[in-house]
Structure 1
């Protein structure tokens, strides 16, 4: 198993995969026996750990228990005679160890912007003479060329200044370019409108605050996201990690 497989396991269990990614994952489970076995081991191990942590007085107590158990295990004398084990057991043991390590890293590490900043690909509505510029903006943004994308969005907004969709993606590009003041101003303007992009602007504004290292502001913004928002569940997970 590769590290990315365990990241994939966690994304599947936490519901972060797209519909296409979920279908591909489940197809692989059916056709790839070692992958399926590693996933089951990861699921059982992470489920046990999650239950254990929730029923422990605190994460510090859990860490202390982990250190004590690890110390006791590795200080044991290894018997002079060992029984030869099937390689399958080694694979499963490795999967379990990696699952524990990955789960602990997820639980005790501070969340960062890149953990949540998944903007996907965009497809802008074609507007007559803007067709060529629209294509350039889409291509630049989808290829993570945010410098060019921001410039194209700005050019398009000169003739379509009230286009909320363009404002939103320009703000995303500005955050990626670390131009936070301009980006946050755009997000706040969108939030004040009754646009269908309002909730996305709230979520993206929170991510901007996270990237800036302002965790308190990030949490405050996240708490304004309504339950019906597409990103509400992720917002709650981020709040839990930051609080």
Structure 2
């Protein structure tokens, strides 16, 4: 395929072809297998980008930029001796510009996701005598991301030590991971109202719980309550910018 074919693909998808051009295009699809395969690939990529951008205005802007860049950089040159050299250079420039536009548009219009912000290290729970075995089970299950097993262990531990903030917090995180948001948020709200070392962490994860549920407004409001001295303040500010 040459560059003009890709411009033709875009014009067809945008409905910019005249009836005569459209008929000729569709006739070529029927008799030229390579042309048809290239068009289908281009159409699927275009559809994928529209879906990923998730914003009609952003998608239209991206496609218009792509179309304009294609016309600008894929024009035929008059000097035959320099065709190969300049064609390679033009492809490189056009590809770079299109890539930059795509990344910029995607970053500006895509919604943040829980997995991008839910980063936590391996935990090491405080040893408490007769609870050692159960604590080790909870710790190992959490660190290996077996959150269902971790939840069972944390639940049993809290029957013996219900006011333990450390257990409450990590049980809440396990429940967010399991999409058991009601249990998670009950624990996190309780911690956020207390004065333990997990107070600000609880607020941060309460915001992330709403983010995972795509309740962006609630997440944003909670994020704004995180104080500047909190460990997760900088991450909270970054997420606020993405949600506003």
TM-score range, shorter chain: 0.5 to 0.7
Q: Which residue of 2 aligns with 1:34?
A: none
* CA–CA distance in structure 2, aligned partners of residues 93 and 136 of structure 1: 55
Tell me the distance in 2 between the aligned counterparts of 1:86 and 1:124: 59
Structure 1 length normalisation: TM-score? 0.65
Alignment CA distance shift 1:100-1:126 (3 Å): farther
1:20-169, aligned counterparts within 5 Å? 64=61, 67-75=63-71, 76-79=74-77, 81-83=83-85, 98=99, 101-169=102-170
CA distance in 2, matches of 1:227, 1:181: 28
Shift of 1:101: 3.5
Instruction: Kindly provide the CA deviation profile for residues 90-119 of structure 1, in whole angstroms up to 9, marking residues without a partner as x.
Output: 6x9977765654443222201121121112
SS in 1 for 2:229: coil
In our comparison, the structure showing a higher alpha carbon Rg is 2
- After superposition, give the CA deviation of every residue in 1:115-144 in whole Å (9 maximum; x if it has no partner): 211122111111112222122111111111
In structure 2, relative to structure 1, the CA distance for the partners of 1:216 and 1:158 (3 Å cut) is same
Name the Cα RMSD after superposition. 2.9
Counterparts of 1:143 and 1:95, CA distance in 2: 40
SS of the residue corresponding to residue 85 of structure 2 reads coil
Which whole-Å CA distance do the structure 1 matches of 2:103 and 2:109 have between them? 10
Structure 1 residues 150 and 61 mapped into 2: Cα distance closer, same or farther (>3 Å)? closer
1:200 partnered with 2:198: no
CA positional deviation for 1:69: 4.3
Contact kept, 8 Å, 2:139 with 2:150, in 1: the verdict is yes
2:188 is aligned with 1:190? no
Separation in 1 of the partners of 2:166 and 2:182?
Answer: 19
Structure 1: runs of 5 or more not aligned: 1-59
User: How far is the alpha carbon of 1:86 from its aligned partner?
Assistant: 9.6
Q: Tell me how many residue pairs correspond in the alignment.
A: 181
Residues 182-209 of structure 1 show CA distances to partners (whole Å, capped at 9, x for unaligned) of 1111001101111010000000000011
User: Please, what TM-score do these two structures have when normalized by structure 2?
Assistant: 0.65
Deviation at 1:68, TM superposition (A): 4.6
